[in-house]
Amino acid sequence: MEDASTHWRKSKANGDFAIHLGAGDDESGRAWSIVVRFYSALHLVQAYLLTKGDRFEAKRHQDRENAMREAPELSKGKAARCYQGYRMLKDLSEQVRYEPGFRPRREDFLSCLSNLEAVRSTVEPKLADRLPHPERPDGL
Protein backbone atom coordinates (compact mmCIF):
# COMPACT_ATOMS: atom_id res chain seq x y z
CA MET A 1 0.00 0.00 0.00
CA GLU A 2 1.31 3.45 -0.88
CA ASP A 3 1.85 5.97 1.89
CA ALA A 4 0.30 9.42 2.25
CA SER A 5 3.37 11.23 0.88
CA THR A 6 3.29 9.11 -2.27
CA HIS A 7 -0.36 9.97 -2.82
CA TRP A 8 0.44 13.66 -2.22
CA ARG A 9 3.14 13.49 -4.94
CA LYS A 10 0.75 11.71 -7.32
CA SER A 11 -1.83 14.43 -6.72
CA LYS A 12 0.72 17.06 -7.66
CA ALA A 13 1.91 15.12 -10.72
CA ASN A 14 -1.66 14.68 -11.93
CA GLY A 15 -2.40 18.37 -11.35
CA ASP A 16 0.67 19.36 -13.36
CA PHE A 17 -0.21 16.94 -16.16
CA ALA A 18 -3.80 18.22 -16.26
CA ILE A 19 -2.50 21.73 -16.90
CA HIS A 20 -0.51 20.41 -19.86
CA LEU A 21 -3.49 18.46 -21.24
CA GLY A 22 -5.94 21.33 -20.89
CA ALA A 23 -3.66 24.07 -22.21
CA GLY A 24 -4.31 23.70 -25.93
CA ASP A 25 -7.29 23.86 -28.23
CA ASP A 26 -7.50 20.08 -28.45
CA GLU A 27 -10.97 19.01 -27.30
CA SER A 28 -9.76 15.54 -26.39
CA GLY A 29 -6.92 16.98 -24.29
CA ARG A 30 -9.30 19.24 -22.40
CA ALA A 31 -11.67 16.32 -21.80
CA TRP A 32 -8.90 14.12 -20.44
CA SER A 33 -7.62 16.95 -18.27
CA ILE A 34 -10.94 16.63 -16.42
CA VAL A 35 -10.24 12.95 -15.75
CA VAL A 36 -6.71 13.68 -14.58
CA ARG A 37 -7.97 16.43 -12.27
CA PHE A 38 -10.35 13.94 -10.69
CA TYR A 39 -7.39 11.66 -10.02
CA SER A 40 -5.51 14.60 -8.55
CA ALA A 41 -8.39 15.03 -6.09
CA LEU A 42 -8.57 11.28 -5.47
CA HIS A 43 -4.89 11.07 -4.50
CA LEU A 44 -5.17 14.15 -2.30
CA VAL A 45 -8.14 12.69 -0.42
CA GLN A 46 -6.43 9.30 -0.21
CA ALA A 47 -3.33 10.96 1.26
CA TYR A 48 -5.43 12.58 3.96
CA LEU A 49 -7.40 9.44 4.77
CA LEU A 50 -4.12 7.57 5.21
CA THR A 51 -3.01 10.09 7.83
CA LYS A 52 -6.04 9.43 10.02
CA GLY A 53 -5.86 6.98 12.93
CA ASP A 54 -6.67 3.75 11.10
CA ARG A 55 -4.77 2.79 7.97
CA PHE A 56 -7.29 3.35 5.20
CA GLU A 57 -7.22 1.33 2.03
CA ALA A 58 -9.87 1.91 -0.62
CA LYS A 59 -10.53 -1.13 -2.74
CA ARG A 60 -13.20 0.72 -4.73
CA HIS A 61 -14.15 4.34 -5.37
CA GLN A 62 -17.21 3.78 -3.20
CA ASP A 63 -15.00 2.93 -0.21
CA ARG A 64 -13.30 6.32 -0.47
CA GLU A 65 -16.60 8.15 -0.88
CA ASN A 66 -18.00 6.38 2.17
CA ALA A 67 -14.93 7.33 4.21
CA MET A 68 -15.28 10.95 3.08
CA ARG A 69 -18.96 11.02 3.95
CA GLU A 70 -18.21 9.57 7.40
CA ALA A 71 -15.48 12.16 8.06
CA PRO A 72 -17.21 15.39 9.13
CA GLU A 73 -14.05 17.37 8.38
CA LEU A 74 -14.50 16.38 4.70
CA SER A 75 -18.27 16.41 4.35
CA LYS A 76 -20.08 18.60 6.88
CA GLY A 77 -20.54 22.34 7.26
CA LYS A 78 -18.04 24.34 5.20
CA ALA A 79 -16.28 21.09 4.28
CA ALA A 80 -19.40 19.89 2.44
CA ARG A 81 -17.94 21.67 -0.60
CA CYS A 82 -15.05 19.19 -0.49
CA TYR A 83 -17.27 16.13 -0.67
CA GLN A 84 -19.59 17.70 -3.24
CA GLY A 85 -16.63 18.85 -5.34
CA TYR A 86 -15.11 15.39 -5.25
CA ARG A 87 -18.40 13.82 -6.33
CA MET A 88 -18.83 16.33 -9.16
CA LEU A 89 -15.28 15.65 -10.40
CA LYS A 90 -15.91 11.91 -10.27
CA ASP A 91 -19.21 12.21 -12.13
CA LEU A 92 -17.76 14.47 -14.80
CA SER A 93 -14.70 12.25 -15.27
CA GLU A 94 -16.99 9.24 -15.70
CA GLN A 95 -18.97 11.08 -18.36
CA VAL A 96 -15.73 11.81 -20.24
CA ARG A 97 -14.60 8.19 -19.99
CA TYR A 98 -17.81 6.22 -20.43
CA GLU A 99 -20.27 8.29 -22.46
CA PRO A 100 -19.06 8.17 -26.08
CA GLY A 101 -21.08 11.18 -27.22
CA PHE A 102 -20.19 13.39 -24.26
CA ARG A 103 -18.35 16.59 -25.17
CA PRO A 104 -17.41 18.71 -22.16
CA ARG A 105 -18.48 22.32 -22.45
CA ARG A 106 -16.54 25.29 -21.19
CA GLU A 107 -18.81 25.33 -18.13
CA ASP A 108 -17.85 21.72 -17.39
CA PHE A 109 -14.17 22.58 -17.56
CA LEU A 110 -14.64 25.62 -15.28
CA SER A 111 -16.71 23.53 -12.88
CA CYS A 112 -13.90 21.00 -12.79
CA LEU A 113 -11.42 23.71 -11.79
CA SER A 114 -13.61 25.06 -9.00
CA ASN A 115 -14.44 21.58 -7.71
CA LEU A 116 -10.78 20.62 -7.52
CA GLU A 117 -10.09 23.85 -5.65
CA ALA A 118 -12.91 22.98 -3.20
CA VAL A 119 -11.19 19.67 -2.46
CA ARG A 120 -7.76 21.26 -2.19
CA SER A 121 -8.81 24.13 0.03
CA THR A 122 -10.29 21.66 2.51
CA VAL A 123 -7.73 18.85 2.40
CA GLU A 124 -4.38 20.61 1.95
CA PRO A 125 -4.43 22.50 5.27
CA LYS A 126 -5.22 19.22 7.02
CA LEU A 127 -2.35 17.48 5.24
CA ALA A 128 0.00 20.33 6.10
CA ASP A 129 -0.65 19.54 9.78
CA ARG A 130 0.06 15.83 9.30
CA LEU A 131 2.78 15.40 6.70
CA PRO A 132 6.33 16.50 7.42
CA HIS A 133 7.04 18.52 4.27
CA PRO A 134 3.94 18.83 2.14
CA GLU A 135 4.09 20.87 -1.02
CA ARG A 136 1.12 22.55 -2.61
CA PRO A 137 0.05 20.90 -5.85
CA ASP A 138 -0.56 23.66 -8.35
CA GLY A 139 -2.57 21.94 -11.05
CA LEU A 140 -5.14 24.64 -11.64
CA distance 81 to 133: 26
Contact between residue 118 and residue 84 where contact means Cβ atoms under 8 Å apart = yes
> Is residue 97 over pLDDT 80?
yes
What pLDDT was estimated at residue 84?
Answer: 97
> Is residue 109 over pLDDT 70?
yes
25 or 34, greater pLDDT: 34
> Is residue 134 over pLDDT 80?
no
H/E/C letters for each residue in 25-94? CCHHHHHHHHHHHHHHHHHHHHHHHHHCCCCCCCCCHHHHHHHHHHCHHHHCHHHHHHHHHHHHHHHHHH
User: Mean pLDDT across the stretch 6-14?
Assistant: 90
pLDDT band at 93 (very low <50, low <70, confident <90, very high): very high
127 or 59, greater pLDDT: 127
What pLDDT was estimated at residue 139?
Answer: 40
Residue 19 burial (CB count, 10 A): 15
User: Mean pLDDT across the stretch 91-98?
Assistant: 96
- Write the DSSP symbol of residue 101: T
User: Can you give the residue ranges of every domain in the chain?
Assistant: 4-128
CATH architecture label of 4-128: Up-down Bundle (1.20)
- Cα-flanking dihedrals φ and ψ of residue 133, to 5°? -135, 65
